[in-house]
Amino acid sequence: MRIRGRTLSALLLAAALGVSALTVDTYTAATAHGETTAPAAGAHGAHASGAAKGHVMGASALPSADDADGDGYIPAVPQVTDVVPSHATPPAAYFHEFQANCSVTHTAPDDPIVYPGQAGASHDHTFMGNTSTNAQSTTASLTGGPTTCNAPADSSAYWMPSLFKGDQKILPVGPQVIYYKSGVTDYRSVRPFPKGLRYVVGSPMQSAQEFRSHKGFVEGWECGDSFFNVDFPASCPSRPDVQLSIRFQAPSCWNGLYLDTPDHQSHMAYPVVKPGTNDNVCPASHPVALPMIEFKMAFPVNGDMSQVHLSSGRGYSFHYDFFNAWEERTLKALVDHCVVGGLQCNTRGYDENHPERGAVLDADHRLP
């Protein structure tokens, strides 16, 4: 529902956070979906102001090429209204995935989803994939752009809060693992992302408990033999082979109506468990099964971790953004062959356990 009015509680919260009442109005709507919480005063010490400033869900948008009226709703064209969630039982297949691995391109205090057209309005982000991503990015500007992803057809933008050790920014080295998987049991029902779909996974304002209980939480922060950490571990083994890493999964069920919504999350949902079974299905409100993105990020930092923090705050403020700009034919070929086909594919769409099935992309990661 579009929130136009302002409640007294919204005005009071706005005053407390030092943000606009409009920001809090839509932030409050996001909270209703259980995705965000208000940041406690001083929660992140010197970084608290950056977190509050840089990524409040539902921040007021400016009119853009993708959102002409600036209301935060970007309708899909065409909208998908003829799908119901699949409850079918598919053939047994342990894997249904491919990798779209991308290297870091640059960092900047920009966020074209939460703060479109507002350069410098966000906390610092580390960008991967499309090399042109900035506050002005739109579907048109990203499409066909240069990319650090293995497949040249993947001009999508991927970003997350930058990680620091003290004042030193720590950037992941080399291609980072970005899985495209099935999040539902009937992997045959997964279809490609619509061009221009975008969303935010998690929230910089989530509490430690909310981060731990988030449906996208996989293993938390880990290094060496330390796993399932909600915040950064106090120390990691000081060895060249040890990095700080995290895995976090995105929602994979789409309402079929909007490419974005004011809170940047409510057009997407996580699968739910079908009653009486262990099957994951899309909810009726979000019936369209899309690939489930999973970030698997590794940061070259170890030893004493007491000075490690994110630009958004503590370790449990981790979140990330995705803006789809794949070339449609290539994405569909990978989804159909690897996800719908029940394979464990690499970045070329090749499953070494099933060489007879072939690959989707050639040696240059291009669709033949």
The token pair at 289 is 């099964």
pLDDT tens-digit map of 329-356: 999 999 999 999 999 999 999 999 999 9
pLDDT tens-digit map of 67-78: 999 999 999 999
Which one is predicted more confidently, 11 or 207? 207
Closest CA to 289 of 79, 76, 86, 35: 86
Name the amino acid, one letter, at 100.
Answer: A
Per-residue pLDDT at 61: 61
- The full 3-state SS of 233-298, as one line of letters, equals CCEECCCCCCCEEEEEECCCEECCCEEECCCCCCCEECCEECCCCCCEECCCCCCEECEEEEEEEE
Report H helices in 38-107.
Answer: 48-54
Q: Which H or E run contains 25?
A: helix 21-32
Per-residue pLDDT at 63: 81
The angle subtended at Cα 358 by Cα 183 and Cα 248, nearest 5°, is: 25
How do the domains of the chain map onto residue ranges? 66-357
pLDDT tens-digit map of 158-216: 999 999 999 999 999 999 999 999 999 999 999 999 999 999 999 999 999 999 999 99
CA distance to 13, 18, 31, 36, 160, per residue, from 214 (Å)? 24, 27, 14, 11, 17
Mean pLDDT computed over every residue of the chain: 87
- 90 DSSP assignment: P
